[in-house]
Chains A and B, each alone.
Chain A
Amino acid sequence: NAGVTQTPKFQVLKTGQSMTLQCAQDMNHNSMYWYRQDPGMGLRLIYYSASEGTTDKGEVPNGYNVSRLNKREFSLRLESAAPSQTSVYFCASSEADGRARYEQYFGPGTRLTVT
């Protein structure tokens, strides 16, 4: 049982390049989330998927797109990377069904640098 896995662990991009961050969970969770963590800012929600087939914007969605490929996988895409997207990206999942709240389980993170 690996929990939440993320690939890659590290990535360096040039401004304007695109890439996709991959996330998978093996806990059969319904909901999945993408966050970014910047110094002094805590974790901020980029996008989330409450259930398979649905996605919604979080607090800082600009410059990103997501795909909930199936129940296990939730990817985050940067179409044209900018230096402001230099950050550590975390994927998380939870059992949340909208009526009760459960803790979110986080992956190890992807450290992205855009030059």
Chain B
Amino acid sequence: DQQVKQNSPSLSVQEGRISILNCDYTNSMFDYFLWYKKYPAEGPTFLISISSIKDKNEDGRFTVFLNKSAKHLSLHIVPSQPGDSAVYFCAASATGTASKLTFGTGTRLQVTL
């Protein structure tokens, strides 16, 4: 049972436009959410996170929105740059679980010129 879902395997966006990556979760115990970025042949790198007590967190060009009632979060990248082309993973964690992360299957973002 996939507790964290990224239903779009891929997304193509023009340089300078907004990229919106979506993630849904089913486990209501999740209270901390993270986005990771992964380039080929490298390990995932942390991008941005959000606690369930917030509904928005912003860091430069990256903003994560959390809608707890819908069990949905999204990552907005504005403006998108070619260097943003990578696979993005959504991950979730629950209090008291030793920070174990449950990952989604990833969305491959391609930013075109």
A→B interface (CB under 8 Å): 4, 31, 33, 35, 40-45, 48, 50, 56, 58-59, 90, 92, 94, 96, 98, 101-109
A contact residues around B102 at 8 Å (CB): 45, 59
Say yes or no for B93: interface residue by CB 8 A criterion: yes
User: Contact: B46 with A109, CB < 8 Å?
Assistant: no
Chain B residue numbers with a CB within 8 Å of A33 are 100-101
- Among the 9-residue stretches B14-22, B36-44, B63-71, B76-84, the one with 4 or more Cβ atoms under 8 Å from chain A is B36-44
Q: Is the CB of B44 within 8 A of A43?
A: yes
Q: Return the chain A residue nearest B96 by Cβ.
A: A98
Question: Please, how many angstroms separate the alpha-carbon atoms of A105 and B36 in the complex?
Answer: 10
The residues of B that contact A103 with a CB separation of less than 8 Å are 34, 46, 49
Q: Is B25 an interface residue (CB 8 A)?
A: no
Per DSSP, chain B at the interface is: loop
Measured between beta carbons, the chain A residues less than 8 angstroms from B74 are: none
Given contacts A41-B105, A108-B42, 10 further A-B contacts (CB under 8 A): A42-B105, A94-B99, A96-B98, A98-B96, A103-B46, A103-B49, A104-B46, A105-B46, A106-B36, A108-B43
CA distance A5 to B58 in the complex (A): 30
Write the nearest CB–CB distance from B41 to chain A, whole angstroms.
Answer: 7
